Structure 1
């Protein structure tokens, strides 16, 4: 093993088990937050063990304080051995990364392991202090360092468990520690064994310790939660901005494509019409006549596709927001829809007067596309059910069909731009993508549930208008 790998193992960093070529070709990935927490803790514990050795040597040799070196070195050795085990565990853990939303997560063993390690550190610190003056030793302040680490690295439950453990350990020190006379004078605090009673000085120190421990854990946990909340908000803002930029780019692309292709398509249409006119009065093979007719129909298909792309993307970007009821939104969605007799609409009484602030034309067109998809996936005799109700203070729209459904592989890709299962020329693959983009920009959510052979349900949640 090369020297660098020994260093990485010693510090708890991940060791890659790939050959150099694979490592070179692999895409870079972010390490999970828990991996960073474990790696940092390993490095901090090495620093703590080295600092303890230096402190013991300085106090014993330079200051001449009669410390029990043997027990203290044993405790430092336990710290080093436990940290070596933690480093090996940390370096061998698999990466955990949620690729879909880029939110980093931790596996089930990480929190208990780190929590137990920090509780062990509290116990080892207590043993060190018990051999070196107990609460009269000014280094008891390092309890608060451990508590800060617990509050930063661990969830609230584990952090408060560490706080309780630190208070218990500090109380134990009042009753069982090796007194050092040099410490009594400095701290003006005799051990309880010497006076056989708990003085006001003992009580005051214990109360101050408990108050500091609670305040440190509470405010550190609060600060960590606020930072995490801000990070999530920033991430959501950037995701929303990226979606908006994607929509704008899509609109620009669609408009540019429609403009650039309009002239050549128009020229082909004129030539095809002229050819059709010239051969109209002369006998030609049926195959030639069919080919000319096919050219005309395919040209019209191309024009319709470009028109839909341009209209869909443009309406998703720049329409004004207005207040509408659930009935008005569904009514607008059904406008211009074929086979409306196959659409069964139900509006819950609680949702009849519910107002939402939406781009009516763009959102209605998106919902219309979802209903069209449901009709296309169903047999001619099957109905598509559209229902509006309230759910968790939001307007919920459900579009259900009993068609062929979708297998998991197809369902996972629904909503990707330009992905469609329809025949060529019958769909652009933008309907669900644009619908989801419009709904999410409004602060809502669009989900799709489908079982192959049993149908599909599309759920749209929209925030209601304030007031």
Structure 2
């Protein structure tokens, strides 16, 4: 079993472990030089520098452990609301805003702290080398180690700052250092060629150091950036896969519910029609005919809802692709709107022929997606206010905008709009699946869904769908 558990490359814990190994290595080197070589070194001053590094490393480890405890407590609180027993994704967006600010703080603070520690390590290394022969000390090569570690952990600007600091330290060692017998190289005679106090050998060492440090910093930062981008792509793929798995579970549930409800609704429909036929020639109150008509209308609505559930669940019949027009698509979407009088269709003066634009898509699924956006706009607006729907054919894509007159959304809520089970509606008015399914339908067609919102001024949902190629 290792003395120290392995840590991810480039993490804060990884830096903590590297500094621990460096402290142990420095103590062993000082002890070796003191006991096994006749070299006279300022042991006291060197031990003070090592102790200083150990103190800063201990403080860094304490800070990391405290930050880890706070993170675990924050995750526990955000995972479950003890008052309601609900996931934080279904609670108020205020908690999500606080979590976003905390996440931003946690992502920036360790990076800055790591830079400060590594800058202190460079200064400490320079001081140790100054006391032990300067640039002639073989351990001056550890400047490159610090630059390489900085390239892995830090951002490119911070890495280049660290590299510049290492170059300044090396220049200082070339100009002045405490000579040590057996390490310091003294010229046989006074050189004729000098730049300031640097002879030809010192200038060559400086040029080689600057060149190596620059090349090392460039390649390490470039490779680190590529690795970070690859890691982001991997996380994005994992997130998309998780969304697909959640969608699969939801669609399975929807398909099962649609299948189970179809049979009793069919039986009710048959019984209602038989009852209507038997009572057709029998004197009865007018309210009976009205009730039978109401039942028939509600059964028709139930059949439409089941059809939409099958479309959301991936039913091949409900998601059958067919040729239609943009105007027919909007008409289909408006058929199931609960307050159609509050929906205003705006036609652009630049393009009045959008209604005849041919489309090739699963009409019912896309209509349901548009219907979800309109319903969200109606829910966000007052009962006396309308929702504007504007359509436009822009090049090789159709653009649809749904503009409500609600209170708008904050940036934190916008970032989570479309996440499953995230909703800002009152309990009983939604469970946060409409936008998730809407985004899934539009994305699978190669389109995009974007929200623009200003608090107090409403929200605009923009859907872009590619047009069929002729």
Q: TM-score, normalised by structure 2?
A: 0.71
Secondary structure of the residue aligned to 1:456 is strand
User: Is the 8 Å Cα contact of residues 330 and 367 (structure 2) preserved in structure 1?
Assistant: yes
Rate the CA distance shift 1:144–1:367 in 2: closer, same or farther, 3 A: same
Pair 1:58 & 2:32 matched: yes
CA distance in 1 between counterparts of 2:436 and 2:163 reads 49
* DSSP-derived class of the 1:337 partner: helix
1:90 matched residue in structure 2 = 64
Q: Which of 38, 53, 78 is the aligned partner of 1:79?
A: 53
Query: Aligned runs of 1:190-339 on 2, under 5 Å?
Result: 190=186, 197=194, 198-275=198-275, 296-314=296-314, 329=326, 332-334=329-331, 337=334
The residue aligned with 2:82 is: none
The aligned residue for residue 39 of structure 1 is 13
Structure 2 residue matching 1:314: 3-state secondary structure: coil
Q: Is 1:437 matched with 2:433?
A: no
Paired position in structure 1 for 2:401: 398
Specify whether residues 399 and 271 from structure 1 end up closer, same or farther in structure 2 by C-alpha distance, changes over 3 A only.
Answer: closer
Q: Which residue of 1 aligns with 2:84?
A: none
- The answer to whether the 8 Å contact 1:152/1:220 transfers is yes
SS of 1:179's partner is coil
| 1:38-96: CA deviation from partner (whole Å, max 9, x where unpaired) | 33322222221111011011122112222221221121122112222222333333438
**Please, which moves more after superposition, 248-257 or 192-201?**
192-201
TM-aligned CA deviation for residue 161 of structure 1: 0.5
- 2:453 aligned partner: 449
CA shift at 1:220, angstroms? 1.2
Aligned to 1:386: 390
Number of aligned residues: 423
Q: Is the 8 A contact 1:347 1:387 kept in 2?
A: no
CA contact (8 A) 2:374 2:387 kept: no
Answer yes or no: is the 8 Å Cα contact 1:356–1:462 preserved in 2: no
Q: How far apart, in 2, do the equivalents of 1:369 and 1:64 lie?
A: 83
**CA offset digits 1:115-172 (Å, max 9, x no partner):** 1111110010011111112111111111111111211211111110000000110111
User: 1:380: Cα distance to partner?
Assistant: 7.3
Structure with larger RCO (C-alpha < 8 A, sep 6+): 2
> CA RMSD for the aligned pairs?
5.0
Residue 182 of structure 1 aligns to a residue in which SS? coil
The correspondence of residues 6-155 of structure 1 with structure 2, limited to 5 A, is 37-93=11-67, 94-95=70-71, 106-155=106-155
**Cα distance in 1 for residues equivalent to 2:358 and 2:108:** 41
CA distance in 1, matches of 2:250, 2:443: 17
> Partners in 1 of 2:188 and 2:295 — Cα distance?
102
Tell me the equivalent position of 1:156: 156
The verdict on how the C-alpha distance between 1:405 and 1:109 changes in structure 2, with shifts beyond 3 A counting, is closer
Corresponding position of 1:27 = none
Partner SS, residue 179 of structure 2:
coil
Decide which of 325, 344, 347 is 2:346's aligned counterpart. Answer: 344
Judged with a 3 Å threshold, the aligned counterparts in structure 2 of structure 1 residues 144 and 191 are, in CA distance, closer, same or farther, namely farther
Partners of 1:287 and 1:193 in 2: how far apart?
121
Structure 2 unpaired stretches of 5+: 80-88, 90-95
C-alpha distance in 2 between matches for 1:76 and 1:394: 65
**Following TM superposition, by how much is the alpha carbon of 1:270 offset from its aligned partner in structure 2, in angstroms?**
2.9
> Any conservation in 2 of the 1:356–1:463 contact (CA below 8 Å)?
no
Deviation sequence 1:1-48 (CA, Å, 0-9, x none): xxxxxxxxxx9xxxxxxxxxxxxxxxxxxx9x99x8333322222221
CA change 1:80–1:254 in 2 (3 A) is: closer
Residue ranges of structure 1 left out of the alignment (5+ in a row): 1-10, 12-30
Q: Distance in 2 between matches of 1:61 and 1:356?
A: 88
Counterpart of 2:461? 458
Find the aligned partners of 1:134 and 1:260 in 2 and give their Cα distance.
83
- 1:457 is paired with a residue of what secondary structure? strand
Deviations 1:332-368 (A, max 9, x none): 434563669931122767x99xx99984634455235
Higher mean C-alpha deviation, range 222-231 or range 429-438? 429-438
| Matches of 2:42 and 2:13, distance apart in 1 | 32
The answer to whether the 8 Å contact 1:363/1:438 transfers is yes
Q: Deviations over 1:198-252 (max 9, x none)?
A: 3433222222211111122111111111111111112222333333444444444
TM-score normalised by structure 1 residue count: 0.72
